[in-house]
Amino acid sequence: MKCRFVNGTTDNLKEICDELGARGKMDLGPVITTVQGVIDDIKENGDKAVLKYTEKFDKASLTPQTMKVTAGEIESAYASLQKEDPELLRIMKKAADNIRVFHERQREEGFIMDTAKGSKIGVKVRPITVAGVYVPGGTAPLPSTVLMDVIPASVAGVPRIVFCTPPRADGTVAPVILAAADIAGATEIYKVGGAQAIAAMAYGTETIPRVDKICGPGNIYVNTAKRLVYGQVDIDMFAGPSEVIIIADESADPKFVAADMLAQAEHDKMASAIVLATGEKLARAIWEEADRRSDAAERKDQLEGSMANYSSVVCVDSLDTAIAFSEELAPEHLELCVKDPEETLKSINNAGAVFLGNYSPEPLGDYFAGPNHTLPTSGTARFFSPLNTGDFYKKISVINYNEESLREVYKDVAKFARSEGLTCHARSIESRFEEV
């Protein structure tokens, strides 16, 4: 199944980028109406509404008592995984170690600094009190995402980590998901999916606690729900379908590049895999190799939609042109399959995660390397960062002046306040030094 083949130059860069970035320009009006209805229902009816939508969308009949995963269910999940796939359990624990070590390097400390006359100013860093993590069910369980989204909160010291994921029709959760959540440090797990899970965590129900921040991926309804509750709670980012750009020069192996294209395209029908190849010979070789490999792939339905509508091999005239395309599109994932990837990295400002060289494929970051795979999509890497430990902190400013240090500056502060017409502000300062 062939994707598009495009000749890209600096002259048509804007036109092609507008076309390749079209996924971010969908009409969300009908989705917003539907999701707002779910949110309003859960705000008003709590558990009753959550259970209603769980039965409607997940075909699972639960009660408030069975909505929360028990310690026994977690023990059974470990036993099942140990029996059926102990090697996967070992790999998950190793991946969790890698992720934890990386995120521990992101821990933040506040500071207190001395200023004039004994005054002190600074910042105190505190973890948020309750974090909410959502991981979808979809066509396959995603234990890697469980690790990536829960571990940063755990490393930050969040005392309560609420984890929500859709139940299967029999009211259970896949053992691999429960084991991953426990390994990562979730303190409580609920069998709730979709927009209803986001609403329940944002406003709280009789069973599910209100959280301070919601993180994690999901479909268009989940992400729309996150947008609508933002402000009631914080969220990690506005996420869309997954995407990769691969910049390839004459040093790249077409087999590697084509395989990496398909790895991204198999996510779902709206996933985007774009190759920016220098020279037509290389571009054609990658294009043909991707077509050949896609015929032997398993997830043909997802691949076909992605390759036909959102993936392209773009033949560019130079590495500089390729970088210009990438910077405009600001991809979630960027692979630099080029002769000197470290030098090329110096020109990259807009990307969620960058993979250097022919032996750093994007799936390495998805599962094992350590940096977070929850990344900004749809061009938002221009201003959003990957999920990180700092996302689970809040900062408190500290100001500590004594009489002597305030006396030195109080007239300046009062004049500044009066310049804005705020005379009570000025008098608040001056009152400390009025003659009795």
Cα–Cα distance list, 5 to 68, 154, 249, 276, 335 (Å): 50, 45, 16, 10, 19
Alpha-carbon distance of 193 to 379, in angstroms, equals 27
The whole-number pLDDT of residue 26 equals 60
Alpha-carbon distance of 82 to 33, in angstroms, equals 44
Neighbours of 323 (CB within 10 A): 20
- Are 86 and 203 part of one and the same domain? yes
- Give the pairing of strands 272-278 and 213-215: unpaired
| Last-in-domain residue among 192, 219, 235 | 235
- Are 82 and 228 part of one and the same domain? yes
Q: Are 212 and 202 in contact (CB under 8 A)?
A: no
Could you tell me if residue 395 is inside a domain?
A: no
Could you tell me if residue 391 is inside a domain?
A: no
- Are 169 and 190 part of one and the same domain? yes
Could you tell me if residue 125 is inside a domain?
A: yes
Catalytic residue, from 243, 332, 335, 362: name it.
332
Could you tell me if residue 406 is inside a domain?
A: yes
Indicate the number of domains in the chain: 3
Burial of 182: CB neighbours in 10 Å, binned 0-12, 13-18, 19+:
buried
Residue among 392, 356, 388 nearest 373 (CA):
388
- Are 221 and 247 part of one and the same domain? no
- Give me 314's structure tokens: 């773009």
What SS3 class is residue 216?
coil
Chain-centroid distance of CA 262 in Å reads: 21
Could you tell me if residue 365 is inside a domain?
A: yes
The whole-number pLDDT of residue 265 equals 87
The whole-number pLDDT of residue 20 equals 66
- Are 360 and 325 part of one and the same domain? yes
- Are 167 and 268 part of one and the same domain? no
Determine whether 333 is an active site residue: yes
The whole-number pLDDT of residue 150 equals 98
> Tens digit of pLDDT per residue, the chain (436 long)?
678 888 877 777 677 767 766 655 566 789 999 999 999 999 999 999 999 999 999 999 999 999 999 999 999 999 999 999 999 999 999 999 999 999 999 999 999 999 988 899 999 999 999 999 999 986 678 999 999 999 999 999 999 999 999 999 999 999 999 999 999 999 999 999 999 999 999 999 999 999 999 999 988 899 999 999 999 999 998 777 889 999 999 999 999 999 999 999 888 888 899 999 999 999 999 999 998 888 778 887 788 888 888 889 999 999 999 999 999 999 999 999 999 999 999 999 999 999 999 999 999 999 999 999 999 998 999 999 999 999 999 999 999 999 999 999 999 999 999 999 999 999 999 999 987 5
- Are 80 and 216 part of one and the same domain? yes
Say which CATH number the domain at 17 has: 3.40.50.1980
Alpha-carbon distance of 434 to 424, in angstroms, equals 14
- Give the pairing of strands 243-248 and 234-235: unpaired
The whole-number pLDDT of residue 304 equals 82
| Last-in-domain residue among 200, 235, 270 | 235
Rounded to 5°, the CA angle 107-103-360 comes to 145
User: What DSSP character marks residue 336?
Assistant: E
Burial of 85: CB neighbours in 10 Å, binned 0-12, 13-18, 19+:
middle
Q: Are 215 and 234 in contact (CB under 8 A)?
A: no
Global pTM?
0.92
Determine whether 108 is an active site residue: no
Q: At what angle do helices 300-309 and 254-265 cross, to 10 degrees?
A: 110
The whole-number pLDDT of residue 397 equals 97
Q: In terms of residue numbers, what domain contains 306?
A: 4-25+240-382
- Give me 83's structure tokens: 């029996």
Could you tell me if residue 150 is inside a domain?
A: yes
Torsional class of 101: left (φ above 0), alpha (ψ -120 to 50), beta (otherwise): alpha
- Are 201 and 79 part of one and the same domain? yes
- Are 269 and 141 part of one and the same domain? no
**How many residues belong to the chain?**
436
- Are 361 and 422 part of one and the same domain? no
- Are 224 and 251 part of one and the same domain? no
The whole-number pLDDT of residue 121 equals 96
- Are 163 and 294 part of one and the same domain? no
DSSP characters for 54-88?
A: HHHHH-----HHHHBPPHHHHHHHHHHHHHH-HHH
Could you tell me if residue 347 is inside a domain?
A: yes
Could you tell me if residue 37 is inside a domain?
A: no
- Give me 256's structure tokens: 């590697």
The whole-number pLDDT of residue 299 equals 82
Catalytic residue, from 243, 327, 328, 333: name it.
333
